[in-house]
């Protein structure tokens, strides 16, 4: 079992920044990959970014490349998502998720992730 708790969301103006944090507990943190997803009202949950077990490899959806940065600290059992140059279309509930079965690959499909946090709201005003 893995428990995930997100924090750091909020309201920010366009062009601003936020830092989302996800604290994990349960299984050994370095044994699974981590991802961030988001879901806007009326839309399906979509992949945002992911990081490999070691933290050496990352992957982003095209719409956030160059603006968002994912990282993990295996000593602190946390994964961060730094959001810069925010746009109104980034408004969504952001979820962190754990991928226990991807071994050392990075996966982007919602169905491939096994555990989810409760989500944190990010609202970007224009």
What pLDDT shows up at residue 113?
Answer: 97
Percent of the chain surpassing pLDDT 70: 100
Average pLDDT over residues 31-53: 97
The pLDDT of residue 102 is 75
**Cβ atoms of 47 and 110 closer than 8 Å:** yes
**Given this model, what pLDDT does residue 104 score?**
78
Q: State pLDDT tens for residues 77-98.
A: 999 999 999 999 999 999 999 9
Using the predicted structure, report yes or no on whether residue 103 has a pLDDT greater than 80. Answer: no
Q: How does the average pLDDT of the chain come out, rounded? A: 96
The Cα–Cα gap between 16 and 47 comes to 21
pLDDT score at 82: 98
Give dist(CA 107, CA 59) in Å, integer: 9
CA distances from 114 to 19, 56, 66, 97, 123 (A): 23, 21, 27, 7, 26
CA dihedral 49, 35, 23, 9 (to 10 degrees): 40
User: Which pLDDT score, from 0 to 100, does residue 91 have?
Assistant: 98
As given in the structure block, the two tokens for residue 19 are 């830092």
* SS3 assignment, position 6: strand
Res. 115: pLDDT tops 90 = yes
Spatial contact of 95 and 38, defined as CB atoms under 8 Å apart: yes
Instruction: Determine the pLDDT at residue 39.
Output: 98
Query: Could you tell me the two tokens for 118?
Result: 């409760």
């Amino acid at each position: 079992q893995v428990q995930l708790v997100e924090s750091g969301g909020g309201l920010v103006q366009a062009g601003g920044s936020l830092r989302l944090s996800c604290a994990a507990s349960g299984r050994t943190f370095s044994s699974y990959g981590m991802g961030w997803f988001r879901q806007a009202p009326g839309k399906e949950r979509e992949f945002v970014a992911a990081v490999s077990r070691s933290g050496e490899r990352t992957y982003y959806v095209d719409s956030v490349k160059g603006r968002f940065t994912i990282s993990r600290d295996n000593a602190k059992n946390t994964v961060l998502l730094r959001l810069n140059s925010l746009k109104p279309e980034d408004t969504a509930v952001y979820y962190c998720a754990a991928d226990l079965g991807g071994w050392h690959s990075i996966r982007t499909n919602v169905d491939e992730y096994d555990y989810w946090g409760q989500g944190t709201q990010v609202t970007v005003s224009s």
